[in-house]
Structure 1
């Protein structure tokens, strides 16, 4: 037996002494060549992707007639026209010599006071017939009220659909009924929902608030569903072993795990809804958006810029409040500073228009 064991050991291919150096070198070379080929394939695919994106980008520029426009020809005229928006910029001896006139800001403030954009002296803190505390902020308060009321109105159905849309609560395929409803709501932008509700409440803040509430059901409900899909199974199994019924498992085993994320997502949707309220105001929904639209129709560009500044202050204030609160709830998120919120404002407004 000892002889056979010695022979087997001598023939063992895993024995380091029996491994041929040429075999090791060949394996290393093959692995190296495989890595080189993979990198070449990735580089080729990346190049093809760049070419495809570039092709469609060039076609997109032609489609929007950007390449056909002779923008440099009108650049000087454009800069001079900016004085209509920014009266504190005064041209001296023609373009490009421009000086700064601090007194131009007084034109902004005069229009803000005249139209009660940020303060309405007729509103009362205790009398709901005057609009209550939110109306005290004038047109900005109306925009804020539309976003706030729409969020609160849409929250119950968003919570219901979000729970029933989860596969942990409603078995497949019945959960896709509620997911389909939320997807259908999200497929229609809030702007279109406002047009759909026009026969119901006319064009005004009521229609805009209903559109925001409907949009909230789809967006917030889907976020709730996604959170429920990520919860831990331990608490659920523990409650089942104690004989808890289905409602008790849902409330104490599932929802108890996502209370903080649910509140954080609701605050986030509230931010979005305030920006949507501005967008809906442009089609007659009231608030700052309607003031902006009216001044644009009158070609009162200085007044337009004053309204945009108030919109900027309103949106940034709501976002800072929401982010600070969400950061405290989660205990780990870093809040964005004022500069970051300011620089990201155009992108967030564009995203709100598409919701």
Structure 2
């Protein structure tokens, strides 16, 4: 598809949870730049560590995200919200309802509070870790997303319009980080699929979005500290290369802007979309002008599994069929 102009989301009311840093911050920046009114959430400064990785300087804050959106001419409302607390989540949506006469067009379920817990697990197996790791990973990373989807749909279904994006990952298909993480991402994808089933004919679309390797603040800190292999399994050089040359934190935001402006997006309800596939479909590149790695690239997969010579001979246009992706995970006898 030929390169497309960035669509306008002027008049849209959007919510991005967990927008202090990383992908959430990037998504909020892109939505605001596209003209949407963006509600951004994060924990109170006293509740949030200055660095969620503990390997470098202080990371961006929710206030910085707000300022950057405004500097780009966007409209933003900052709301401190503890996404581990059900009453705080409920109050957030009540505020959006009151301030916008019931309008909420886009919800991005992105909040995640277990980066430190994952980084500090040191690659240990689940039985050597405190079982509370499950709650640390999946309270905000899964339970909260369910709560947010419930409250968002109560607003959206009344207007028979809305889009909910769950920010998930390939950890929902194949092992990544630890058991709790993989279970949470798998459940998040299944949640989108099952909610889509019940949202048929409602006018509300929900789906999962899978970014590839992203150049987050945390990824940069891990590389600088030489801690990558403690957190991510796989060939060290390839992982560091992916994190260094991967997607910017705003690439997922570009994907969501295009999807939100697509009148046919309901056909993707309940599906899992790769950011690289979304960019290919709508014809755009990352904000830095690059074309990020294709998660379905055969050459990329060969490199990851150590077959570098074969990978170098494999044409870039060869891609793994979506049906073939399932063979990485499912263990039917």
TM-score calculated relative to the size of structure 1 = 0.27
Greater length-normalized contact order (CA 8 Å, ≥ 6 residues apart): 2
Q: Give the strand-richer structure, 1 or 2.
A: 2
Q: Give the helix-richer structure, 1 or 2.
A: 1
